[in-house]
Structure 1
Amino acid sequence: MAGNPERRAALVDAGIAVLAREGARGLTFRAVDAEAGVPTGTASNYFTGRDDLLRQIDARLHIRLAPDPEVVEELLLGARDRALVTAFMRDILDRAVRDRAGYLALLEMRLEATRRPELRASFTASVRGDLEQGMQFHREAGLPGDDQTVTVLYLAMLGLILEHLTLPGVLDGALDGVNVPEDLVERIVTTVVPAK
């Protein structure tokens, strides 16, 4: 396998773009090469096969969609209350919107994992690891609520982001006086997170 890390990262990012735009069926080495603007056959020199590419896309998505440590540090200067949890949830939504292709690729990975048991095992482990890391962060930061609170927030935000990025009109006008998705984040937090 070729060892140029910058080229590998560019190919993985190209794979993310293809996955987001074309879905898993469109994710071929030829499509990745075209997206990256490299000669045909380049991707096959960097990945042992499609499963290897998907595993590396999974790893890269976790980096691309991760919170900015400086943003986290700044937010942690605030009181440990619902308002801070709301700020963290808004940051999650903002990151998904900013890297729409990355988040859509993450959704495509979920769908592909339903068809590929080997991917399901590794992808489940990585997503579960993210959830457990979120629980640990919540506890260590002294935020209101417990692991169950984090799990329900995770599910609610997943649904909100899915709707907002794929069918944004579904929630328009569904809730009187609520600006979707921005105000809905606060509604989710107020509903799920106990007052401290």
Structure 2
Amino acid sequence: MRRNDERRTALADAAIDVLAAEGARGLTFRAVDARAGVPAGTASNYFANRDALLAAAGTRVFTRLAPDPDAVERALAAPRDQALVARFLREIVDRATADRAGHLALLELRLESTRKPELGASFTATMSAALRENIAFHLDAGLPGDRAAVELLYAAMTGLIVEHLTLPEFFPRETVDRLVDLLVDRVARVPGRGRGLSG
């Protein structure tokens, strides 16, 4: 059973790599088999159809891009201030940059979900759950900013990462870091206080 789970994960990873390199149109069982280095027909033995393969890639990509729980726990030993919020946001950029294929595949899945209602519904549910978890983490950790601030940070970071990964000369890393500082300074504030990072 474990071997089957490992093979399924390897095939989902291969699907992510194909999505990143070829786009959704290039995602075929044959391409996934070739990318995973397995015999032809392997992916079709694990996934009933292409939609199931897309769904598996969508689930797997969130695992790949998730933070290390131990690293988060260590980070929470620091003061729960704007500097920590900025640190968490930079680490999101770090993970997206380190797994560029994973994040590009995530963009492809977003686009494909606009064309496939079932995938769109599933992807919306997954994204909604992830945002709820982010909001709960932020508030439970006592980080500065309310629910609306977390939603604004999420929306802004999504755009920043897209620009950085797709047009790195337009939005190089130093620009992203500067904008993260500005974003946190203006959005993630402690009620009743003025600006934190630059104030």
Q: TM-score, normalised by structure 2?
A: 0.91
**Structure 2 equivalent of residue 175 of structure 1:** none
Cα distance in 2, alignment partners of residues 59 and 179 from structure 1:
31
Q: Which amino acid aligns with 1:119?
A: L
* Counterpart check, 1:81 vs 2:81: yes
Following TM superposition, by how much is the alpha carbon of 1:5 offset from its aligned partner in structure 2, in angstroms?
A: 1.2
CA distance in 1, matches of 2:174, 2:95: 18
The residue type equivalent to 2:36 in the other structure is: A
**Match status 1:185 vs 2:171:** no
Aligned partner of 2:140 in structure 1 is 140
Tell me the residue number matched to 2:155.
155
Q: State how far apart, in whole Å, the 2-side matches of 1:78 and 1:113 are.
A: 39
- CA offsets, 1:163-195, max 9 Å, x none? 0000122246xxxxx932222221221121114
Structure-1 residue corresponding to 2:20: 20
- Count matched residues: 189
Work out the CA distance in 2 between the residues paired with 1:88 and 1:57: 25
The percentage of counterpart residues that share the same residue type is 58
Aligned-partner residue type, residue 159 of structure 1: G
Question: Which residue identity lines up with residue 106 of structure 2 in the other structure?
Answer: L
- Structure 1 unaligned residues grouped into runs of 5+: 173-177
Q: Which residue of 1 aligns with 2:121?
A: 121
| Cα deviation digits, residues 44-91 of structure 1 (max 9, x gap) | 000010111111111111111111111101110011110010011011
**Matched residue of 2:61: which SS?**
helix
Q: Are 1:110 and 2:105 counterparts?
A: no
Question: Which residue of structure 2 lines up, in the alignment, with residue 164 of structure 1?
Answer: 164
Give yes or no for the alignment of 1:97 onto 2:97: yes
Measured after TM superposition, the shift of residue 139 of structure 1 is 0.8
Alignment partners' CA distance in 1, 2:119 and 2:131: 18
Give the superposed CA RMSD. 1.4
Deviation of 1:4 (Å): 1.1
Q: Which runs of 4+ in 1 moved over 3 A?
A: none
Counterpart in 2 of 1:194? 189
